Structure 1
Amino acid sequence: MRQVQVLCLGESMALFVPGEDGPADRVRTWIRTVGGAESNVACNLALLGVRAGWVSAVGDDPLGRAVVSAVAASGVDVSGVDIDPLRPTGLYFKESGSVRYYRAGSAASAMGPELLDKLDLDGVRILHTSGITPAISGSCLALTRALFAAPRRTHRVSFDVNWRPVLWRGKDRAVLRELADAADLTLVGADEAEAVWGTGDPAGIRALLPGPDTLVIKQGERGATMIERDPATGADLDAVFEPALRVDVVEPIGAGDAFAAGFLAATLAGESPRRRLRAGHLQAAVSLRTHEDVGIPLPDDVVAELLAADERTWADWRMSG
């Protein structure tokens, strides 16, 4: 694996969406694409100019090769992806108002702590994963715990809660709090926190998660709040809230992953808290304007102008067309 700045770990699957209107049981044409939170983050990062890698497992089958090729096409290093000769690539179908997963026994679900020995963390500054990975299987939970317990000599661990109720059905959701509190940088939606922990209030979430040096609460179309610890004193700095851009939404899927990528890219660049949140909003807005999970970033000059804009200019800007 070539040296990367951000290494993302988690399952990606072949995604099929209807190619025509009508009830799913009558659809004859399906369009194949790729879906996966961590690979979405990696692809967004690569398009933003960050050297990103993705680690996972796929089957030795056409769907697995298609998934890896699609992620690599965005400029992501995929040399750490394992090709499983026995297990298949997971897949899912996105129907009108619902999603059906077929991932039981998938190659990625067999990932376990032994994968840690294969990871090349030399030069990696951020290791990113999400709450989807530990929910897939017991071995994936063990892998996630091993990742969090491993020494962090040069890298920080980033964790996006990514609450998926179907995946956690019958499982101990306390694991999500355990992992979210053990990360260096945690992202969570206020709606997710409300569903899992009973509070969507930033102060309340911080009380539940005192561990991360950086905590980001995504508050949907309202904006996002960041609470960060002062490295000198260990005390929390004042919370920073930045409103989201106004966007004519085409498709909301993938916006959270895009926000994470924009925020992480700006964090690596040493930007201020406000500019880091704005960078997240900008990439999320791009995602909201496309049917794809990953959207092409805005031109550099537009991004620079908006990152530096005064509050009124930022609030008045709308992404449409």
Structure 2
Amino acid sequence: MDAVGSVDPVDVVALGESMVTFLPSRPGRLADVPSFERGIGGAESNVVCALAAAGHSTRWVGRVGADGFGDHLVEAIGAYGVDVGRVRRDPERPTGIYFRTAGDRAGDAHEVAYYRAGSAASAMAVGNMDLDAIRAGRILHLSGITAALSDDCLGLLRELTAPRAGRPLISFDVNHRPGLWRDPGGPRVLLELARAADLVFVGDDEARQAWGLRGARAIREALPEPETVVVKQGEGGATVFDRGAEDCEDASGTATFVRAPKVEVVAAVGAGDAFAAGFLSATLRGLPVRDRLRHGHLMAAAVLTAPGDHLPLPARRPDAAPARRPSWRDRADRLAALDDAGWGTLRLGPGWTEAAAPDEEGARGR
């Protein structure tokens, strides 16, 4: 393991399992789909890919098999500009893969077939991961999916979320996946990890399913320790409770709600991870709480209005120098700065990240 201080610091580090995903060539049951197209999936790596595409320095740390699928994951994630130099290769265990049907994950007909049991990522543990590289970021992003993979993975998350001097800001996305847990104690574990984090993302639907909580205020009361709690409320918007807000009046923090813009959805996948990336990007830039939520909605919209699960790859310069800040981030800044009336009438469709939209007229620049 490297000596403390020898790892290059980055804006955001994410730890978790990434898998090769096979996307159907047409809608229908998995039994009826004749062919699939290969892609990449993984909540934590999705977040740092989006952040890298937005111009931030990022690192993904995980374990993959010493196989072709592992090669593909490392190369594909690295193509976004994410540092993948600390990904471990496991000669004994395979890279996880999964197949899914087209369309919205919330649909009754949606199917996912996971082949991740015994994967390389499930062997992540305190003793075999580079903790210095994991902690060398301004923000460390984790999710509840990792905790469900194995007892060793849960032990690693408990180590990383434990109080310690110099700990990075811990961002935790609850990501409740009932099918991954081997025992009924999953919701209790997720609550424990969320309470140990500094910034928590949780959907109101998953809080209801996991903890029986209804409403943003009840969720905040169940999570009193984190500085910031973001409650995602689907197409309606999101509420954040932030104790660091200038107008904070009580221990729960100031409650700020921002409605999501209307979006012409092309593919209803990847929005949650993109929302977290947008919020984290604005947090790194020190933007006000309202604008952090707006950037979360805008980055989610960038994914929802495109056919894939990810933002487009950032353009690389011929001299191999880092990619310049993408123009769509400047556009997102202008949209996030709209007055309340302008934001309330915002409509986003395919191509809005590529060309100025009429909705931007009158927006205040930054």
Structure 1-normalised TM-score? 0.94
Aligned to 1:272: 288
Q: Of 210, 219, 223, which residue of structure 2 is paired with 1:196?
A: 210
1:146 counterpart (159, 163, 170):
159
Distance 2:130 2:23 in 1: 36
Residue of structure 2 aligned with 1:254, choices 266, 270, 275: 270
Q: Residue 112 of structure 2 aligns to a residue in which SS?
A: strand
Contact 2:29/2:111 (<8 A) preserved = no
Please give the residue correspondences for 1:170-249 in structure 2 after superposition, counting only pairs within 5 Å: 170-172=183-185, 173-230=187-244, 235-249=251-265
Length, aligned pairs only: 321
CA contact (8 A) 1:161 1:180 kept: yes
Q: Cα offset for 1:170?
A: 2.6
Structure 1 segment 46-195 matched on structure 2, within 5 A: 46-95=52-101, 97-115=110-128, 117-120=130-133, 123-149=136-162, 151-153=164-166, 155-168=168-181, 170-172=183-185, 173-195=187-209
Q: CA RMSD in A?
A: 2.0
Please give the TM-score of this superposition, normalised by the length of structure 2.
0.83
Task: Give, in whole Å, the separation in 1 of the partners of 2:129 and 2:87.
Answer: 13
For structure 2, which runs of at least 5 residues remain unmatched after alignment? 1-6, 103-109, 313-325, 351-366
CA contact (8 A) 1:116 1:147 kept: no
CA distance in structure 1 between the partners assigned to 2:132 and 2:43 by the alignment: 19
CA shift in 2, pair 1:188/1:30, >3 Å:
same
Compared CA separation, residues 263 and 152, structure 1 to 2 (3 A): farther
Dislocated runs of 4+, deviation >6 Å: 231-234
Q: Secondary structure at the match of 1:241?
A: strand
Conserved? CA contact 1:221–1:244, under 8 Å: yes
Alignment of 1:280-291 (within 5 A): 280-291=296-307
One-letter code aligned to 1:304 = D
Partners of 1:287 and 1:293 within 8 A in 2: yes
Q: Which residue matches 1:295? A: 311
The 1-side partners of 2:225 and 2:83 are apart by: 30
Say if 2:350 is the partner of 1:315. no
* Percent identity over paired residues: 48
8 Å Cα contact 1:116-1:146 kept in structure 2: no
- Which residue does the alignment assign to 1:29? 35
Distance 1:152 1:253 in 2: 37
CA contact (8 A) 1:251 1:290 kept: yes
Q: Is the 8 A contact 2:263 2:349 kept in 1?
A: yes
> C-alpha distance in 1, partners of 2:128/2:221?
33
The alignment partner of 1:105 has SS state of: coil
